[in-house]
């Protein structure tokens, strides 16, 4: 089948590469000439495990091509995915200018019937606006469908190739059958293809992300209670997560959610609900808890060392908002680092893959190290933001010898508090009793 994917960002690249892997001829189109040149030379602009191999393989075998000629990609394809960015506007709503611009281009370029799919995360009603933009430019029939993505950064290729479910919002049974056939290779083990109306599919994406964000903020609120009551949030998590009605996923307390999806999707859903007269107070509380949680490690550093951090050095392990990605959008590490710098602190950081992104955002305001232990030499404290595997079982005796003071502020609860006390560390984590040297 001939398929065009307009937009070569995170979603577009994964969609294009995975569809090409199942035998389709896929054209990925973008107006960014440098990005297209890099992709045609096998250079991937994002870090996503397995994606580079998939792109290189299908590019070499001719099933995947990259072009700046969006109009030709539309004419050469029957199915067209819109996968451009929808950044948050100043009021929190999704900015649809790129989506609608692509729709206009599609309408002007069509030379026959097409199926157009909004893959970008868009608010309810967007498909209708896309249809109007296309129909305004053409007399050919078009089916505008919604196919929200549920890709986790760091596991996007596996999520696409082995989805929990495929959600298809369709406006016509014929389009539904075409898309069901398109996705059939990915659900051979029996996972569902859910056909529904377009509006329901659009809401499903936002509702799913908002639910996951709610679980995170809920657990962080419970962690605050545990700290005040002297309880252990890890035990509470096990206690509620073993309930089949609740389950264990997304119940790990931490320093808040970040990335490209949860923050902007919750904001956009709040905006949509308010615009439509629905009560968004639950999600507004989710945002409030998350904003507070991002200051947790900064507050802990100030509580331990004082408001004036001049002359203090802080080692930071982990800059990306989660493991297996270089994405630092809305990362809690940025809140901590900027707060430390504002108070006169020095920051020395490590991340397995996000150093280049940190350099782009923070420049020379902090120092960077290629190895995590190098950050510790003479540091007053270690601050952990991201649960990368190399951080989970480190050499604690080496760490203690390198640190000026044996202080660890752990935003991901990687270590056992009792063990840290026995090793001679001051240890602060999330929702658990802090370990102080006086208690050892």
Write out pLDDT tens, residues 115-145.
Answer: 999 998 899 999 999 999 999 999 999 999 9
pLDDT of residue 166 exceeding 50, the answer is: yes
Active site residue 261: yes
pLDDT of residue 171: 86
115, two tokens: 């199926």
pLDDT of residue 440: 39
Indicate where the chain has its CATH 3.40.50.720 domain(s).
Answer: 2-196, 294-439
- List of residues 6+ apart from 238 with CB closer than 8 A: 248
Indicate where the chain has its CATH 1.10.1040.10 domain(s).
Answer: 206-292
What is the second-level CATH architecture of the domain 294-439? Answer: 3-Layer(aba) Sandwich (3.40)
Dist. CA 54–CA 149, nearest whole Å: 19
pTM attached to this predicted model: 0.91
- List of residues 6+ apart from 163 with CB closer than 8 A: 150, 186, 187, 191
Fold of 2-196: Rossmann fold (3.40.50)
Give the confidence band of 438 by pLDDT, cuts at 50, 70, 90.
Answer: low
3-state class percentages of the chain: helix first, strand second, coil last, to nearest 5: 45, 15, 40
| Active-site hit among 18, 28, 226, 261 | 261
CATH number of 206-292: 1.10.1040.10
**pLDDT per residue over 200-253, tens digit each?**
999 999 999 999 999 999 999 999 999 999 999 999 999 999 999 999 999 999
């Amino acid at each position: 089948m001939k398929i065009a994917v307009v937009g070569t960002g995170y979603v577009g690249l994964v969609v294009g590469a995975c569809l090409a892997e199942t035998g389709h001829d896929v054209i990925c189109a973008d107006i960014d000439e440098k990005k297209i040149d890099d992709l045609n030379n096998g250079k991937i602009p994002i870090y996503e495990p397995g994606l580079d191999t998939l792109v290189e393989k299908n590019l070499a075998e001719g099933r995947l091509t990259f072009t700046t000629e969006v109009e030709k990609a539309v004419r050469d394809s029957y199915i067209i995915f819109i996968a451009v960015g929808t950044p948050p506007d100043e009021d929190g709503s999704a900015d649809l200018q790129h989506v609608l611009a692509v729709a206009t281009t599609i309408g002007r370029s069509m030379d026959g019937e097409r199926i157009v799919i909004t893959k970008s995360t868009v608010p309810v009603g967007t498909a209708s606006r896309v249809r109007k933009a296309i129909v305004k430019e053409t007399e050919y029939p078009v089916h505008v469908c919604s196919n929200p993505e549920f890709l986790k950064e760091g596991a996007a290729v596996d999520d696409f190739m082995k989805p929990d479910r495929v959600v298809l919002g369709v406006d016509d049974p014929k389009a539904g059958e075409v898309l069901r056939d398109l996705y059939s290779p990915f659900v051979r083990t029996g996972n569902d293809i859910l056909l529904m109306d377009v509006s329901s599919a659009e809401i499903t994406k936002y509702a799913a992300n908002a639910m996951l964000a709610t679980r995170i903020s809920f657990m962080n609120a419970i962690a605050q209670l545990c700290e005040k009551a002297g309880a252990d949030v890890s035990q509470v998590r096990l206690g509620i997560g073993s309930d089949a009605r609740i389950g264990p996923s997304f119940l790990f307390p931490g320093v808040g959610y970040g990335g490209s999806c949860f923050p902007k999707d919750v904001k956009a859903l709040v905006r949509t609900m308010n615009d439509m007269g629905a009560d968004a107070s639950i999600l507004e509380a989710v945002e409030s808890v998350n904003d507070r949680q991002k200051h947790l490690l900064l507050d802990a550093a100030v509580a331990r060392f004082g408001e004036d951090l001049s002359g203090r050095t802080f080692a930071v392990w982990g800059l990306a908002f989660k493991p297996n990605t270089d994405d630092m959008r809305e990362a809690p590490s940025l809140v901590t680092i900027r707060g430390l710098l504002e108070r006169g602190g020095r920051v020395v950081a490590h991340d397995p893959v996000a150093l280049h992104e940190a350099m782009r955002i923070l420049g020379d305001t902090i120092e960077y190290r290629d190895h995590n232990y190098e950050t510790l030499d003479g540091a007053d404290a270690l601050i952990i933001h991201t649960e990368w595997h190399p951080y989970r079982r480190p050499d604690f005796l080496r760490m203690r010898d390198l640190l000026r003071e044996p202080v660890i502020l752990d935003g991901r609860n990687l270590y056992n508090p009792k063990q840290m006390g026995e090793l001679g560390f001051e240890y602060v984590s999330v929702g658990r009793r802090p370990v102080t040297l006086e208690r050892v």
